[in-house]
Amino acid sequence: MNIWYENIFHCNTIKKPRRPSFFKCCPDESIMSKIVEAILHANGDGHWVGDGFPVRTLFGYQGDARLLSPFLLFDYAGPHTFAPNSGAPRGVGQHPHRGFETVTIVYDGEVSHEDSSGGGGTIGAGDVQWMTAAGGILHEEFHSPGFSKTGGPFRMVQLWVNLPAKDKMTLAKYQAITNDDIPFVPFNGGRARVIAGKFQGVEGPATTFTPINMWDVRLDADTTVTFSLPEGHTSLIAVLSGRVTIAGQDACEAEIVRFSREGTSATIHADGDAVVLVLTGKPIDEPVVGYGPFVMNSETEIRQAIEDFNSGRFNQAAKQ
């Protein structure tokens, strides 16, 4: 049962015909459109992470890990309206991560984080927490005390970004990126906030281990926009609200369009006002072996992670 999805609507049951999958040449022959390879959505109805995060997992590393690299997991929390809460803030208590980064983007509501490297704070609408778990971190995520008291609409994304083998055991770190740090780039038909990478020559504030673009994009109703996306990058557009049409296919709220790595652009049409998250990343061509919050390159490293966590070494690793 969909207990938390509000304003949810599904794509038209009548799909427009799919265009053949070949590269569409543009007037400028050097510009090649990426093609739509898949539309990803939650498998089932979602789940609660702790008691604070009603999440739909739009993809995870158990699936097409190679095709999605360097991205490992995409959780879309909400939209959900929380009632005022007089008790302890809802959320998820201490848990470990190793081998990757967690990127939390808040659209509505407020989240307070704390981790064993000393990173943390409260992030609200428009803010981003970029946490590098790397060699090991202990993490807590709760609604902020303020949001917990007042309640209200809640919506966020948590993305897991893989690290190359050589960086998996580096020191944990934390980037607090506030709304004010994120450049805002208006364009014909919408505007983009550049969290990471570069959009129309404007660079985002996040430091990344491998080349990544992350743009929070708002599109006006009934506009068509062509994004330049790097050749060779895993290229995703997550629809967070509204509906878009790409190469004759519809994608709605909580669906992710995965494009071909080949090609240098993607054209999308917003049927109504839409919010999309554009993600591209250079693939990391290494094995992905994961177990819950640990994502490494081999079974041996996973066993080591479990052993290190059980013997309390995560806390120490983060403080070295």
Q: Which residues bind Mn ion (CB under 5 A)?
A: 139
CA dihedral 243, 248, 254, 258 (to 10 degrees): -140
Q: Toward Mn ion, which CB reaches closer, 56 or 243?
A: 56
Distance of closest approach, residue 105 Cβ to Mn ion, in angstroms:
14
Q: Which of 131, 158, 99 is nearest to 284 (CA)?
A: 99
Backbone φ and ψ for 9, nearest 5 degrees, come out as -145, 155
Q: Which two tokens stand for residue 61?
A: 């590393």
Element (H, E) at 50: none
Backbone φ and ψ for 318, nearest 5 degrees, come out as -70, -25
Distance of closest approach, residue 318 Cβ to Mn ion, in angstroms:
13
Q: Toward Mn ion, which CB reaches closer, 158 or 241?
A: 158
Element (H, E) at 237: strand 234-241
Q: Toward Mn ion, which CB reaches closer, 93 or 164?
A: 93
Angle made by CA atoms 280, 283, 284, in degrees to the nearest 5:
140
Distance of closest approach, residue 253 Cβ to Mn ion, in angstroms:
24
Backbone φ and ψ for 304, nearest 5 degrees, come out as -65, -40
Distance of closest approach, residue 31 Cβ to Mn ion, in angstroms:
39
How many Cβ atoms are within 10 Å of 191's Cβ, its own excluded?
14
Q: Toward Mn ion, which CB reaches closer, 139 or 173?
A: 139
Distance of closest approach, residue 119 Cβ to Mn ion, in angstroms:
11
Q: Toward Mn ion, which CB reaches closer, 230 or 293?
A: 293
In the complex, residue closest to Mn ion by CB: 139
